[in-house]
Copies of this chain bind each other. A is one copy, B any other.
Amino acid sequence: MEEEQSPRLAAGEPERKLEDGVDDPDAEDPGSTGNAAMSSLEQPLLKRSNTLTASHLAMVGAKVSRIESLDYEIIENDLFKHDWRRRSNVEVLQYIFLKWAMAFLVGLLTGVIASLINLAIENISGLKMLHMFLMVKLAVTYCRYWAGFLYFAGINFGLTFVAAVLCVVFAPTAAGPGIPEIKAYLNGVDTPNMFGAPQLIVKIIGSIGAVSSGLDLGKEGPLVHIGACLANLLSQGGSGRHRLRWRWLRYFDNDRDRRDLITCGASSGVCAAFRAPVGGVLFALEEVATWWRSALLWRTFFSTATVVVVLRGFIEVCRNGRCGLFGEGGLILFDVSDVTVRYHVGDLLPVTIVGVLGGVLGALYNHVLHKVLRVYNLINEKGRLAKLALALAVCALTSAMLYVTPFAVPCTPCDPAFGDACPTLGKSGNFKRFNCPEGHYNDLASLLHATNVDATRNIFSTGTAGEFRLDSLLIFFAVYCVLGLFTFGIAVPSGLFLPIILMGSAYGRITALLLSRFARIDHGLYAVLGAAALMSGSMRMTVSLVVIFLELTNNLLLLPITMFVLLIAKTVGDAFNPSIYEIILDLKGLPFLEAKPEPWMKDLTVGELAAAKPRAVTLQVVERVSTVVEALRSTRHNGFPVVDRPRPGVSELHGLVLRSHLVAVLRKRWFLPERRRTEEWEARERFSSAELAEKGGGVEEVEISPEEMEMYVDLHPLTNTTPYTVVETMSVAKAVVLFRSVALRHMLIMPKFQGPEISPIVGILTRQDLIAHNILGAFPHLASKRKVH
């Protein structure tokens, strides 16, 4: 037993390089490392070996980039301690005020941008549809349909082209919904180039283009990303070089406050997308955020309240057609409150079927989408043109399917009871005439020749049991299944919510039609239930989804059934595979820390885990400059344990020093000619804590002369003397819980024994070391104990 714990002398030795670094994370072309990493598709970014290795690469956008962990720990070193002790009450109040002002601004801007996006989409796609109808109706020969199609497809093609080009050229990370990356960010993973100004702008314009072009995607996911981008930019005081350098803002430029603000941004985005303030807060809480506090709940709520006031204001301003085709709906997107829900035992059967189907179809959707995304990744890797071609091909497919399929169903004569409403003449409405004679309508055209939001509104509409034919609904469902699978991975901003809602509502109505003997509640409500069930079956949310649907449909009496359906769908779905966001996180190789440790983690101690890693690079508390520079150059570690040897036989773990602080010292050239401990005031005279916190360049940018290399650095004032530690006998399961609960970036391992010549530190663990994947690579025998999903 003793031998296992043999004392180690870990001091100042340079270490083997831990990562196969991609040295230029900004390289646009996927380099060879990227390709190599992508070739193993099952675990795209991970290699297995006998020692514990970690990949710090992830797929961001469609390329492989280097990712960093975020540091939520409170750094307790002399300089920072001095700083906060001096902080006056006024400064504390400034800080509090700033936090609330930021939350307000995030809400305000998200609300305004969401309204503008809505305005643009409704007008562009509305005008497109109107002109197409006019074309089809006015042309006299048979070729009018061709003209209509060419017009329709041409406009769509142009809009997609704009969105895709922007996305491919300026901000590849703006493709997709962005929600998995936000989820990862709030878990502590910083994906590069994700929340900047280019992403924000591309996301806004790209989203308008993509949604208006009729692609089967929503603006909901992108709005969440937009909220997060806004939050990030605000907390930094702007983007890149144009950053504000306010004194106020320096208190704000840390990972903890940014995390809180990005949570506000994400919930504001959801709120703006669904006009659901409470749903937005709950979505952030249940699906996106990893850490949560009561105070944050309140601030998030404040942001979404601001959003909803802004939306409300826009709707009031745009009433009576002052904003073109926008603003005809109210605050509630899909209002079905006019139906009084009575409960019947007979409904139990179809409702249960809707729930079970939701789970099965959701899991199936996740599975197939996973496969499609892997193929798409291969295509997208081939370069910009391939990405663009893929997007345009999907656009052409979409246009063709939407335009052509309505010809497959016969026309339905208008029920005179509907009066003037049938056939619909304007943009929206349930009874599109399209290819039908006077007094008839094409029910499939009503659903397909509309924006996605209008289609949802039509299919959710209540009191319309006989309005949609079964074959139309089946075609509609098939079309949106195909489009939903093939649209998501293309290089435009795209959300998953609306495609799933469309699919779900279709099968909900189909179930109601097929089982109309039992179905006593309205078919529109079955569409709502189907949408909710499929969402739950694919995304596996519960409470937030219930509230979002409540706020979408404004029918409180539907609540118990919705809850019932969601519970069934989630249970069924969980039996097959994880949620779609987890699948995407895994596919992108983002090191997400799960809440629950794997059972086999109880059989491994952190000491064993550390032994599988290269020895930790430690520094002496007063260290030679050359050693520091060597440590920084030879590794990409972000923290180095600092040890001391106050008298013979006695050693001390002094703490942990961050790479950025070491670089700051080198940059400031705060060197000592002799090996001695400095006084606190000496350090304070040379450094302000603000300088220490500043994020500068890397160690490569600092030039050190050979004389300086021989000098010393005193790490006392820089070292965080209170890092979180565990004893080497702790099981990995408990360590993972600790790591995630307290939101760590580094966890130091201390020896179990206390005695002479025992190194005060056994090793250091980071996020990558605690990811189940990576551990199994080093300890394959544990995999056999792994529970089946």
Complex Cα distance, B343 from A316, in Å, reads 9
Which residues of the partner chain B approach A331 to less than 8 Å between Cβ atoms? 557, 560
**In the complex, what distance in Å separates the CA atom of A286 from the CA atom of B294?**
6
Q: Which residues of A contact B (CB under 8 A)?
A: 1-2, 74, 76, 81, 84-85, 277-278, 281-282, 285-286, 292-295, 297-298, 301-302, 304-305, 308-309, 312, 316, 331-332, 337, 343, 542-543, 546-547, 550-551, 554, 556-557, 559-560, 563-564, 567, 570, 595-596, 602-603, 646-647, 649-653, 655, 721-722, 724-727, 729-731, 733-734, 737-738, 741-742, 750-756, 758-760
Q: Which residues of B contact A278 (CB under 8 A)?
A: 543, 546-547, 550, 559
**Residue among B332, B650, B731 making CB contact with A753, cutoff 8 Å:** B650
Tell me if A724 and B738 are in contact (CB < 8 A). Answer: yes
- State which of B1, B277, B738 has its C-beta within 8 Å of the C-beta of A559: B277
Q: Which of A1, A559, A647, A760 has the most CB of B within 10 A?
A: A559
Q: With A277-B560, A282-B543 given, can you name 12 additional A-B contacts, CB distance below 8 Å?
A: A74-B733, A277-B563, A278-B550, A293-B595, A302-B567, A305-B560, A332-B556, A332-B557, A550-B550, A652-B753, A721-B729, A722-B734
Taking CB atoms, residues of chain B closer than 8 Å to A721 are 729
Closest to A84 in B: B602
User: Could you show 27 A-B contacts with beta carbons less than 8 Å apart?
Assistant: A1-B646, A74-B734, A76-B602, A81-B602, A293-B595, A295-B596, A298-B542, A301-B542, A301-B543, A301-B567, A304-B563, A305-B564, A332-B556, A337-B337, A554-B556, A556-B556, A646-B753, A649-B755, A651-B753, A722-B727, A722-B729, A722-B730, A725-B725, A725-B726, A737-B742, A742-B742, A753-B760
A278 to B563 alpha-carbon distance, docked (Å): 9
CB distance from A416 to the nearest CB of B (A): 30
Chain B residue nearest to A756 (CB atoms) is B756
Contact check, A646 vs B554: say whether CB atoms are below 8 A apart.
Answer: no
Inter-chain contact A286/B297, CB cutoff 8 Å = yes
Question: Are the C-beta atoms of B754 and A646 separated by less than 8 Å?
Answer: no
Query: Given the complex of chains A and B, what is the CA–CA distance between A734 and B80 in angstroms?
Result: 15
Q: Are A298 and B570 in contact (CB under 8 A)?
A: yes
**Bound-state Cα–Cα, A721 to B542, Å:** 38
Interfacial chain B residues near A570, Cβ < 8 Å: 298
- Chain B, Cβ-Cβ closest to A734: B722
**Is the pair B76, A651 in contact by a Cβ cutoff of 8 Å?**
no
Are A754 and B563 interface neighbours, CB within 8 A?
no
* Cross-chain contact of A308 among B559, B649, B651, B725 (Cβ < 8 A): B559
Let me know if A731 and B76 touch, CB within 8 A. Answer: yes
A706 to chain B, nearest CB (A): 35
Determine which of B84, B550, B554, B595 lies in contact with A294 in the assembled complex, contact meaning CB atoms within 8 Å.
Answer: B595
Chain B, residue nearest A290 (CB): B294
* Among A301, A550, A649: residue with most chain B CB under 10 A: A301
User: What are the residues of chain B within 8 A of A298 when measuring CB–CB?
Assistant: 542-543, 570
Residues of B within 8 A of A753 (CB): 646, 650-652, 760
- Do A652 and B738 touch across chains, with their CB atoms under 8 A apart? no
Contact A725 B750 (CB under 8 A): yes
Is B646 in contact with A2, judged by CB distance below 8 angstroms? yes
Q: How far is the CB of A624 from chain B (nearest CB, A)?
A: 23
Contact across chains for B543 and A297 when beta carbons are under 8 A apart: yes
Report chain B residues within 8 Å CB of A760.
753-754
- Expressed in whole angstroms, the Cα–Cα distance for A734 and B723 within the complex equals 9
Q: How far is the CA of A752 from the CA of B645 in the complex (A)?
A: 12
Q: Which residue of B lies closest to A605 (CB)?
A: B722
Measured in the bound complex, the distance between the Cα atoms of B1 and A445 in whole Å is 82
Nearest-CB residue, chain B, relative to A603? B85
- Output the nearest chain B residue to A556 by Cβ-Cβ distance: B554
C-alpha gap A454/B639 in the complex (Å): 64
Q: Which 4 A-B residue pairs are closest in the complex by CB-CB distance? A: A650-B755, A754-B760, A722-B730, A741-B741
CB-CB < 8 A to A286: which residues of B?
Answer: 294, 297
Chain B residue nearest in CB terms to A650: B755
User: What is the CA–CA distance of A755 and B74 in the complex, to the nearest angstrom?
Assistant: 28
User: Looking at A603, A652, A738, A755, which has the most chain B CB atoms within 10 Å of its CB?
Assistant: A755
Q: A605 → chain B, closest Cβ, in Å?
A: 8
A754/B650 contact (C-beta < 8 A), A277-B563, A602-B76 known: yes
A603 and B84 alpha carbons, distance in the complex (Å): 11
Measured CB to CB, the closest approach of chain B to A723, in angstroms, equals 8
Q: Output the least CB separation between A563 and chain B (Å).
A: 4
Residues of B within 8 A of A74 (CB): 733-734
Name the distance in Å between A656's Cβ and chain B's nearest Cβ: 11
Contacting pair A758 B754 (CB below 8 A):
yes
**Residue of B at shortest CB range from A722?**
B730
How many angstroms from the CA of A729 to the CA of B596 in the assembled complex?
30
Chain B residue contacts of A651, Cβ below 8 A: 753-755
User: Given A278-B546, A725-B727, A729-B722, are A309 and B752 also a contact pair (CB < 8 Å)?
Assistant: no
How distant is the Cα of A495 from the Cα of B241 in the complex, in angstroms? 57
Give A343 Cβ to nearest chain B Cβ, in Å: 7
